[in-house]
Amino acid sequence: MNLQTFVGRIRRLCRIRHGQSALCQQYEADFFRLFNPPTYTRKL
């Protein structure tokens, strides 16, 4: 499973389960910070 698929699942889960977009965005930001080198940080 690649990164895009995983992020897609996270988004779908957030949307379906509770729809707390703020929490979802925070989780995504943390996730990307974890998996990307410090030089590659962009706002989602």
Block means of pLDDT (10 residues each) for the chain, 44 residues, are: 78 64 73 69 53
Total domains, the chain: 1
pLDDT at 10: 75
Residue 20 belongs to domain spanning: 3-35
30 located within any domain: yes
Measured CA to CA, the distance from residue 44 to residue 33 in angstroms comes to: 11
43 located within any domain: no
44 located within any domain: no
pLDDT at 35: 72
42 located within any domain: no
Interacting residues of 15 by C-beta distance below 8 A, sequence separation 6+:
24
